[in-house]
């Protein structure tokens, strides 16, 4: 069971309000998906995610194929039964992880041979195998197997990977056996707008249930990412969901929505929680800074999350300083609430016909609060995957 209903498009731009219906619940879009690569959002239980308002999360087929194994998950009833998560699940096919985490990797038109980043064992993944793995895992939405290339690369190399991704997309469609799962194609093409258009048009001709935009937020400047969206999104059908993979920071979510994106996922809220970066309505708080040692106020006075309602900055500063695991959990809960609430505000603005004003106010607040010399960390899920490989996920 899968259906996408487009309910409204903002009159001043591309922002869209929609409803995604799956066998495991209905998701209002635009929506953000927390990342649980190994079957769990780090430190956060299913009941926490439900209370925060999430209806769709991401698990990763590559990681679950290696540990505990897709057949083990299948024997135990699939991801929903295995993890205790009753909402919808999207699985990334693992195409990026194969290339970024594998110690040795050899790519041919047939597929990819690689060594596991866990134990060095050898594996061979084809488009057909990627579909088999995801069907065994039992997600509501599965992804076609794609090839990502390191950027910058030559136009010839990017074009080759784009063509291979299209060929693999056809094989993925032919290999699918479960009509209850939605299959998304992934647009590639690097930072070349013409290749992005070519990739999108070819995938649309195949008639996927939805379309993802991959290979972005991997270190490029934000204007480059936005320009690739502006080239790609108009080529995608209005009646299908659009998913920007591995994005990102709050401003990227707002800007992605403005350009017609419906779904996002990223490690940012959870990874930043573990490193003490807390998102607020006016910017970010680095809780380890000494100025918070005696601060009795909440992380964000405007926030209604359970952490801000009960705990002070001073307490969170203390927990982070003594490396108490509760501190990481509370930080992560707050950040996830911030992302869920941001998307609620975005949807409300689109519904009210005031998204353009919301977007201006959002950026104005953050610009007013920006402190000189504060260095932003990496944006993208796919970029951060390589940084956090040793943690077992995104």
> Catalytic residue numbers?
92, 265
Which of 130, 366, 92 shows the shortest CA–CA distance to 253?
366
- Residue 51's contacts (CB-CB under 8 Å, 6 or more residues apart) are none
Helix ranges (H only) for 259-354 are 268-274, 306-310, 313-321, 325-352
d(CA 11, CA 1): 31
Structure tokens at 10: 């903002």
Instruction: Please provide the DSSP assignment of 62-121 as one string.
Output: HHHHHTT-HHHHHHTTHHHHHH---SEEEEE-SHHHHHHH-SSEEE-SS-EEEE-TTT--
Report how far apart, in Å, the C-alpha atoms of 15 and of each of 31, 33, 67, 170, 370 are: 12, 18, 38, 30, 26
d(CA 191, CA 177): 34
Neighbouring C-beta atoms of residue 1, cutoff 10 Å: 11
Instruction: Please provide the DSSP assignment of 183-236 as one string.
Output: EEEEE--TT-HHHHHHHHHHHHHHT-SEEEE-S-SSS--HHHHHHHHHHHGGGS
Query: What is Dmax (Cα atoms) for the chain?
Result: 61
d(CA 226, CA 296): 39
Cα angle: 101, vertex 105, 106; to 5 degrees: 155
Neighbouring C-beta atoms of residue 119, cutoff 10 Å: 8
Tokens 């006075």 correspond to: 301
Report how far apart, in Å, the C-alpha atoms of 101 and of each of 95, 116, 183 are: 10, 8, 24
Q: Which residues pair with 28 in a beta bridge?
A: 19
């Amino acid at each position: 069971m899968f259906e996408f209903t487009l309910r409204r498009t903002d009159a001043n731009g591309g922002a869209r309000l929609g409803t995604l219906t799956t066998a495991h619940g209905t998701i209002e879009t635009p929506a953000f998906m927390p990342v649980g690569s190994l079957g769990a959002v780090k430190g956060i239980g299913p009941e926490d995610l439900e209370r925060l308002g999430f209806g769709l999360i991401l698990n990763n087929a590559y990681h679950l194929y290696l540990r505990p194994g897709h057949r083990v998950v299948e024997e135990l009833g699939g991801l929903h039964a295995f993890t205790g998560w009753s909402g919808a699940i999207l699985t990334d096919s693992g195409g990026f992880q194969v290339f970024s985490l594998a110690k040795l990797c050899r790519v041919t038109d047939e597929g990819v041979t690689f060594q596991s980043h866990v134990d060095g064992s050898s594996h061979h993944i084809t488009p057909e195998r990627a579909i088999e793995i995801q069907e065994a895992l039992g997600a509501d939405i599965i992804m076609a197997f794609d090839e990502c290339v390191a950027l910058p690369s030559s136009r010839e190399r990017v074009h080759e990977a784009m063509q291979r991704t299209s060929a693999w997309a056809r094989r993925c469609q032919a290999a699918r056996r479960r009509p209850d799962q939605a299959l998304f194609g992934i647009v590639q093409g690097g930072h070349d707008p013409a290749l992005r258009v070519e990739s999108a048009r070819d995938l649309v001709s195949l008639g996927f249930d939805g379309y993802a935009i991959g290979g972005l937020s991997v270190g490029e400047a934000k204007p480059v990412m936005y320009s690739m969206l502006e080239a790609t999104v108009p080529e995608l059908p209005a009646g299908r969901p659009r998913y920007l993979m591995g994005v990102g920071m709050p401003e990227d979510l707002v800007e992605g929505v403005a350009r017609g994106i419906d779904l996002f996922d990223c490690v940012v809220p959870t990874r930043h929680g573990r490193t003490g970066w807390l998102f607020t309505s006016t910017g970010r708080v680095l809780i380890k800074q000494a100025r918070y040692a005696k601060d009795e106020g909440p992380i964000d006075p405007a926030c209604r999350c359970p952490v801000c309602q009960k705990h002070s900055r001073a307490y969170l500063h203390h927990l982070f300083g003594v490396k108490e695991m509760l501190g990481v959990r509370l930080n992560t809960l707050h950040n996830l609430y911030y992302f869920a609430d941001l998307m609620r505000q975005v949807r409300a603005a689109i519904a009210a016909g005031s998204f353009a004003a919301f977007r201006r106010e959002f950026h104005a607040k953050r610009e007013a609060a920006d402190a000189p010399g504060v260095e932003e960390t990496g944006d993208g899920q796919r970029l951060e995957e390589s940084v956090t490989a040793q943690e077992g996920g995104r």
